[in-house]
């Protein structure tokens, strides 16, 4: 399966903290702060350590900052990190070597579409760093999209719905499915996304009237409204959704979905 990180140069640029645009760096820290609060509260509610599934672990940046914080990491019983690219699982394993290979962390090369095959249950399932917006419909024609007149209708996104409805099912009662950061569906965010990709040397192939931004190099990032997200996950009660702004300028939001 071809992935957006098959180009090593692009992979290295997009994971270079010092080279990231400031909007992305600040969104990451805002997300991290809120995530610590969620872990802390779940452990207090349970009265015990919690189990975590991380969908799309990337280069392990989250673990790099979580593990050293004893007040938070001591509340984690198991942390199962998955990704669908060898570059990402390899980078995460290299990071773990540097921080002492904590025994409660496992890393697996697996596509998120197959998480229901593990038959495991978790207190917290997370997907961070705008990963929710990366699940594009299968067979999207990155190489030829801007040469055709056909547009993608994202009133539905079966791949997204399947992955995260299965994730919700994999939660223990009172568990949380956490979308750490999601791009908000508005034109200013679209412009920022396009500028990010151009900054990384990619070719944007989408138009202003679409609710996602994609590049010829295989990157895709969707923007979300509350209404669109709830429609995608229509099997989950709307009262289970909680929305948290990550900034004051309508760029990113965290979404917390509690299993009842």
Reported as a single tens digit per residue, the pLDDT across 220-232 is 999 999 999 999 9
pTM score: 0.93
Q: Which residues contact 92 (CB under 8 A, 6 or more apart)?
A: 57, 58, 59, 60, 63, 81, 83, 107
| 61: region left, alpha or beta (phi > 0 left; psi from -120 to 50 alpha) | alpha
Give dist(CA 218, CA 204) in Å, integer: 10
Give dist(CA 49, CA 42) in Å, integer: 9
Tell me which residue has tokens 């004893």: 70
Q: How confident is the model at residue 117 (pLDDT cuts 50, 70, 90)?
A: confident
Residue 25 has pLDDT above 90, yes or no: yes
Give dist(CA 63, CA 106) in Å, integer: 11
- What pLDDT is recorded for position 227? 98
Q: How confident is the model at residue 14 (pLDDT cuts 50, 70, 90)?
A: low
- What pLDDT is recorded for position 1? 42
Q: Which residues contact 110 (CB under 8 A, 6 or more apart)?
A: 82, 83, 84
- What pLDDT is recorded for position 17? 67
Q: Which residues pair with 220 in a beta bridge?
A: 214
pLDDT in tens, 68-104: 999 999 999 999 999 999 999 999 999 999 999 999 9
Give dist(CA 110, CA 112) in Å, integer: 6
Give dist(CA 173, CA 44) in Å, integer: 15
What DSSP assignment string belongs to 234-251?
TTS-GGGEEEEESSSSSS
User: What CATH number should be reported for the domain whose range is 8-138+159-184+218-258?
Assistant: 3.40.50.150
Residue 162 has pLDDT above 90, yes or no: yes
Q: How confident is the model at residue 123 (pLDDT cuts 50, 70, 90)?
A: very high
- For a pLDDT cut of 90, what percent of the chain falls above it? 83
Q: How far apart are the first and last CA of the chain?
A: 35
């Amino acid at each position: 399966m071809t992935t957006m990180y098959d180009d090593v140069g692009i992979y290295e640029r997009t994971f270079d903290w010092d080279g990231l645009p400031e909007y992305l760096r600040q969104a990451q820290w805002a997300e991290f702060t809120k995530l610590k609060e969620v872990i802390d509260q779940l452990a207090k509610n349970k009265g015990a350590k919690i189990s975590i599934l991380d969908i799309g672990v990337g280069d392990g940046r989250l673990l790099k900052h979580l593990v050293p914080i004893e007040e938070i990491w001591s509340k984690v019983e198991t942390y199962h990190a998955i990704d669908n690219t060898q570059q990402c699982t390899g980078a995460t394993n290299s990071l773990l070597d540097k921080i002492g290979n904590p025994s409660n962390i496992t890393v697996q090369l697996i596509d998120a579409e197959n998480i229901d095959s593990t038959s495991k249950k978790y207190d917290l399932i997370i997907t961070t760093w705008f990963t929710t917006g990366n699940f594009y419909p299968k067979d999207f024609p990155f190489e030829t999209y801007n040469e055709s007149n056909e547009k993608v209708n994202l009133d539905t996104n079966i791949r997204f719905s399947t992955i995260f409805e299965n994730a919700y099912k994999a939660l223990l009662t009172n568990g949380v499915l956490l979308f750490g950061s999601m791009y908000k569906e508005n034109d200013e965010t679209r412009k920022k996304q396009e500028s990010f990709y151009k900054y990384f040397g990619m070719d944007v192939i989408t138009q202003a009237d679409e609710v996602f931004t994609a590049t010829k190099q295989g990157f895709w990032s969707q923007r979300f409204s509350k209404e669109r997200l709830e429609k995608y996950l229509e099997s989950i009660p709307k009262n289970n959704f909680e929305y948290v702004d990550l900034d004051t300028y309508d760029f990113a939001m965290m979404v917390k979905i509690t299993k009842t």
